[in-house]
Structure 1
Amino acid sequence: MFRSKLLWRLYIGFATILFISTVIVGITLSRQLSENTLEEIQNSLSVRSEMLSEIAEDFFLTRPDSNFSAVTQDTVVRLGRATNTRLTVITPEGWVIADSEEQPAVMDNHSQRPEIIEARDSGIGTASRFSQTQQQMSMYRAIPVMKNQQLLGFVRAAVPLTTVDQQLAQLQRLILLSASIVAIAALLLGLYFVNRVTGPLRSMTEAAEAISKGDYNRRIEVVDRDEIGSLAAAFNRMARRSAQRMDDITRDRNRLSSIFAGMVEGVVDVDEDQKIVHINQVAAELLGLSINGSIGKSLWEEVRVTEIITALEQTLETQKVVNTQMRRPSNEDDQVVNIYAAALQHEQGDSIGAVIVLNNISKLDQLERIRRDFVANASHELKTPITAIRGLTETILDDEKMAADIRQGFMEKVHAQSIRLSSLVTDLMTISRLESDHQDKSVHAFDLGELVRRSMADCTALSQEKQLQTELSLPDSAMIINGDAQAISQLVDNLIDNAIKYTENGGTVSVKLEKENNTAKFTVEDSGIGINPQDQQRIFERFYRVDKARSRELGGTGLGLSIVKNIAEEHDGNVTVASNPGMGSTFTITLPLNQKQSQAY
């Protein structure tokens, strides 16, 4: 309470006003009492001088003798003592014939005393002066004693001013004491009432400080129903509404943060000074930034991408949406990002920054490139046998006299091209079926070992024709997997067929099936021509050939390994390749085992 600056300001102001008022009232009251006291003394002197005038008149009229003078002196002394007043009887010539404080015989002539001179001139004489007789300040009042317009003498009454001063000092002490008591009581009451005023204000200040620090549950106790109480009640209402609004803001902020965090697009929010206010994880990963480390820093300091900086500057300058794209070349696939920049504004239209949305379309760009390549390759692959068939048939039709053996050769070529065209269409239909989400899947459990054995048997003639040494390693027990047996059979056939085709005469082809970590591991190894490292990741693309001339010579369509990869992934497996040019290749397929057999193993 005593640390409140407002309380002390109000209290010091109140105390100052109280002090000044007390001083003014005290001085005014003291002065008024002094005047009233002097007036009362003057009235008292007037009454006593009039009384003494009656006594002195008889004395002046009887021409006093010595006996009467003594009696008058005694009377004056007795009256003076009774009234605490100095009484003096003076002749018209100024000689003192009676005095209550001194013997008349030893007293000087008083004709030149100021009060006597004034009484002779105006009828009443007053004076406050130093008394030579009593050696102190006194107040005098003198009046003439008249009889039939004849001056008989003067009478004078006087009181010491020390007595008056004592009375005034006593009154002043009483006033000072009373004023002090009243002032102390007023100060205590003032402190109480000032605290009643500043207490709620102090509570409001503490509550405001608490709210500024995030404690929105702080409230003020409303005691009175006056203006301060109304202010406290209004403050409590404001605090409740602020708490509700803060809850709404926090909820909206958390929702917005969750939305930003869950977006597949990168989002960067900057203020009007191009400083980063918010960035989500996707944007941070795209731009190689740290979320916490980049907040509050200028975008151009953190991001070295010209397209993003240019888009931001354009949208802030024009206040319009800017769309652009950035492309980062890489050894594998290019990184392609669509950039969307939009300015943010207040309701009044003032700019408050901008938001940048980064949409990584690298996969889409890659798929689009693959689609374009696929269309181009498919068109080319289809056109080649069709062109050959058309040319051969047109030659046969145009030459009716063609020799039978030549015609037979042309027909065999047409037949071979039709077989190639049929294989190509079949592989395209297989790719389409595998990539379709709505295909009818024939899934059941079967023995992968038996399927591999049949496939090797089917390729025996071709391997013997090329004088290849083939090796087959199968487990002793059945290797049961779940899947489409026809698709898996095509996978196995393609890998074994490729190994035989691309292995030179007299080479070696090894086929092995084994269990590894609850999976069936199928490996085809050959001693063929091998594959360059830069081609190994692309051989699974449709129509991609390492050696196009050799592939067409061997009757390949360029879709075999793409079909293998699709079938493996369709069965929750994967395919890998390890190869060195001139030293052969090893293709490995892993497929999950049937759950029951996996437990049995």
Structure 2
Amino acid sequence: MNKFVQKVDTVRQRLYALQQGVSNSSLPQPGVMPPEGLEELQVALEELQVAQEELKAQNEELVIARAQVEAERQRYHDLFEFAPDGYLVTDNTGIIREANRTAAILLNVSRQYLLGKPLINFIPYEERRIFRAKLTQLHQIDWMQEWEIHLQPRDSEVFDAALTISTVRDWQGNSAGWRWLLRDVTARKQAEEKIRNIQLQNLQLQEAARLKSQFLAIMSHELRSPMNAIIGFSQLLLRQPQPLAKSQESMVERILNSGKHLLKLIEDVLDFSKLEVGQLQLQLEELNLAELVTTTTEQLYSLVEQKSLAFQVNLNLQNPYIVNDSDRLRQVLVNLLSNAIKFTDSGSVQVDVWELPSNGIALAVKDTGIGIAEADIEQIFLEFQQVNQTLTRKHGGTGLGLAIVDRLVRMMQGNISVESQLGEGSTFRIELPRQVRGEGL
């Protein structure tokens, strides 16, 4: 381009000198161009000047285009070179022609020694037959994604890799090789294996829980029958026309009370096993809540008297009728009252029942007993959990009562909460809808 400009400038200078010579001479000289020729030459030079300007503009555009191509080439090179995954380019026989830095690191080979090597060199011997078969398949397809295989880096351990392969074609559309994306998926495979193990363990635990619940249900049922017989015969002995001797009566009463206690424990285990496997269903009916609370508290009044506790029942119900399972609701109330009496040595036990504004009812059992530490409140509704093992040994129990209450209340579409301070007593509050809806209602 510069030489062309210089030539044009030289011709222009010679033309200018020639014009000057013609204008200074009045007579035509041999070998000197006439004015008409000079004018034509002037026009040709002007056209040449225009061509020069166009050529210059095209040259500038070419320089810009070349810079853009170079920038794009550098961008591609940077993406290729610094990609987090390994990239290779091989020919149709699997010989490595290009490799980025990550690929060299994954294969533990310097890039200068990696080029020209067959990719199959980095496949474990036992998998090379499969690899050759895949290479044969690649001649018929353009794309293969996430092919999982083992790679054997030089002087290093085998790792799990996922290969994504695309075909490189020449200008005639013929296959010229392949581009390979190499990704180390060892961490992902290990995580997947852990998940599978956890799922297997979960299934095993579920099966163990099912067998445990089934065993508890069978054993509880088998134990309940003889216990009912023991209780029944004890009651018959106490009702005989001829009174028993004082010592005999005392022993029969102990048998009766122990039998009732054991039967209560057995029924708790049976109910919990049914709740765990979803076999317990609510028998919904319309009932008078005030009557249910009154009769239930009267049945437990003797326990209150034995410990000389104050006992108060407050019913604040304009409409006492609700829809619920009377037996299960009574069971909830008995469990809460039994616990309140059991863990209260002095003071009082109180039952409050009132209506909620959102068409619901609330029931609270309050005592002045030993209370519950704040750190233990979250655990009291867990099965087989009691917050103080010393007190458990003193007062007895399976640790299932509150767990059963919690599950029954949730089945009744309600919720239970507790407020307590250690040494100052506890208040258990239950909120229930006035009408519990069964499945399908």
Contact 2:317 2:354 in 1 (8 A): no
Which residue of 343, 350, 366 corresponds with 1:510? Answer: 350
Cα drift, residue 443 of structure 1: 3.7
Residues 451 and 352 (structure 1), Cα distance of their counterparts in 2 relative to 1, 3 Å cut: same
Tell me the amino acid that sits aligned with residue 167 of structure 1. Answer: Q
Residues 190 and 410 (structure 1), Cα distance of their counterparts in 2 relative to 1, 3 Å cut: farther
Partner of 1:167: 29
Tell me the amino acid that sits aligned with residue 337 of structure 2. Answer: I
Q: What is the alpha-carbon distance in structure 2 between the residues aligned to residue 354 and residue 172 of structure 1?
A: 90
Tell me the amino acid that sits aligned with residue 510 of structure 1. Answer: Q
Residues 184 and 515 (structure 1), Cα distance of their counterparts in 2 relative to 1, 3 Å cut: farther
| 1:586 lines up with 2:416 in the alignment | no
TM-score (norm 1): 0.39
Partner of 1:159: none
Residues 189 and 590 (structure 1), Cα distance of their counterparts in 2 relative to 1, 3 Å cut: same
Cα drift, residue 565 of structure 1: 1.1
Contact 1:345 1:352 in 2 (8 A): no
Alignment of 1:438-517 (within 5 A): 439-444=280-285, 446-479=287-320, 481-504=322-345, 507-517=347-357
| 1:184 lines up with 2:38 in the alignment | no
Q: What is the alpha-carbon distance in structure 2 between the residues aligned to residue 483 and residue 13 of structure 1?
A: 105
Give the 3-state SS of the residue equivalent to 1:537 in structure 2. helix
Residues 411 and 465 (structure 1), Cα distance of their counterparts in 2 relative to 1, 3 Å cut: closer
Contact 1:480 1:594 in 2 (8 A): no
Larger Rg: 1
| 1:532 lines up with 2:355 in the alignment | no
Cα drift, residue 495 of structure 1: 0.4
Cα drift, residue 509 of structure 1: 0.6
Cα drift, residue 593 of structure 1: 3.8
Q: What is the alpha-carbon distance in structure 1 between the residues aligned to residue 311 and residue 298 of structure 2?
A: 11
Tell me the amino acid that sits aligned with residue 541 of structure 1. Answer: L
| 1:575 lines up with 2:437 in the alignment | no
Give the 3-state SS of the residue equivalent to 1:492 in structure 2. helix
Cα drift, residue 440 of structure 1: 3.6
Give the 3-state SS of the residue equivalent to 1:523 in structure 2. strand
Q: C-alpha deviations, 1:118-150, integer Å up to 9, x for none?
A: xxxxxxxxxxxxxxxxxxxxxxxxxxxxxxxxx
Tell me the amino acid that sits aligned with residue 577 of structure 1. Answer: V
Q: C-alpha deviations, 1:69-118, integer Å up to 9, x for none?
A: xxxxxxxxxxxxxxxxxxxxxxxxxxxxxxxxxxxxxxxxxxxxxxxxxx
Looking at both structures, which has the greater relative contact order when contacts are Cα pairs under 8 Å and sequence separation is at least 6? 2
Partner of 2:398: 557
Q: What runs of 5+ residues in structure 1 fail to find an aligned partner? A: 1-9, 31-161, 210-270, 273-316, 322-342, 390-403, 597-601
Give the 3-state SS of the residue equivalent to 1:579 in structure 2. strand
Cα drift, residue 419 of structure 1: 4.5
Cα drift, residue 413 of structure 1: 6.8
Residues 595 and 412 (structure 1), Cα distance of their counterparts in 2 relative to 1, 3 Å cut: closer
Partner of 1:230: none
Cα drift, residue 557 of structure 1: 2.4
Residues 439 and 468 (structure 1), Cα distance of their counterparts in 2 relative to 1, 3 Å cut: closer
Partner of 1:235: none
Q: C-alpha deviations, 1:364-421, integer Å up to 9, x for none?
A: 99x97xx99x97xx99xx99xx9xx9xxxxxxxxxxxxxx999999887776665444
Q: What is the alpha-carbon distance in structure 2 between the residues aligned to residue 166 and residue 544 of structure 1?
A: 130
Residues 527 and 199 (structure 1), Cα distance of their counterparts in 2 relative to 1, 3 Å cut: same
Q: What runs of 5+ residues in structure 2 fail to find an aligned partner? A: 19-23, 72-101, 104-155, 166-179, 227-244
Q: C-alpha deviations, 1:209-247, integer Å up to 9, x for none?
A: 9xxxxxxxxxxxxxxxxxxxxxxxxxxxxxxxxxxxxxx
Alignment of 1:171-570 (within 5 A): 171=33, 175-188=37-50, 318=157, 320=159, 348=180, 350-351=182-183, 419-437=260-278, 439-444=280-285, 446-479=287-320, 481-504=322-345, 507-518=347-358, 519-548=360-389, 550-551=391-392, 554=395, 556-570=397-411
Q: What is the alpha-carbon distance in structure 1 between the residues aligned to residue 347 and residue 290 of structure 2?
A: 24
Cα drift, residue 171 of structure 1: 0.8
Q: What is the alpha-carbon distance in structure 1 between the residues aligned to residue 436 and residue 365 of structure 2?
A: 25
Contact 1:515 1:521 in 2 (8 A): yes
Q: What is the alpha-carbon distance in structure 1 between the residues aligned to residue 340 and residue 382 of structure 2?
A: 18
Q: What is the alpha-carbon distance in structure 2 between the residues aligned to residue 527 and residue 584 of structure 1?
A: 4
Tell me the amino acid that sits aligned with residue 266 of structure 2. Answer: V
Cα drift, residue 564 of structure 1: 1.0
Tell me the amino acid that sits aligned with residue 177 of structure 1. Answer: E
Identity %, equivalent residues:
23
Residues 319 and 412 (structure 1), Cα distance of their counterparts in 2 relative to 1, 3 Å cut: farther
Give the 3-state SS of the residue equivalent to 2:295 in structure 1. helix
Contact 2:324 2:435 in 1 (8 A): no
Q: What is the alpha-carbon distance in structure 2 between the residues aligned to residue 461 and residue 590 of structure 1?
A: 27
Contact 2:371 2:425 in 1 (8 A): yes
Partner of 1:398: none
Cα drift, residue 546 of structure 1: 3.7
Q: What is the alpha-carbon distance in structure 1 between the residues aligned to residue 256 and residue 185 of structure 2?
A: 70
Tell me the amino acid that sits aligned with residue 499 of structure 1. Answer: A
Q: C-alpha deviations, 1:12-54, integer Å up to 9, x for none?
A: 776556667x579989xx9xxxxxxxxxxxxxxxxxxxxxxxx
Give the 3-state SS of the residue equivalent to 1:513 in structure 2. strand
Contact 1:423 1:557 in 2 (8 A): no
TM-score (norm 2): 0.50
Task: Give the number of equivalent residue pairs.
Answer: 300
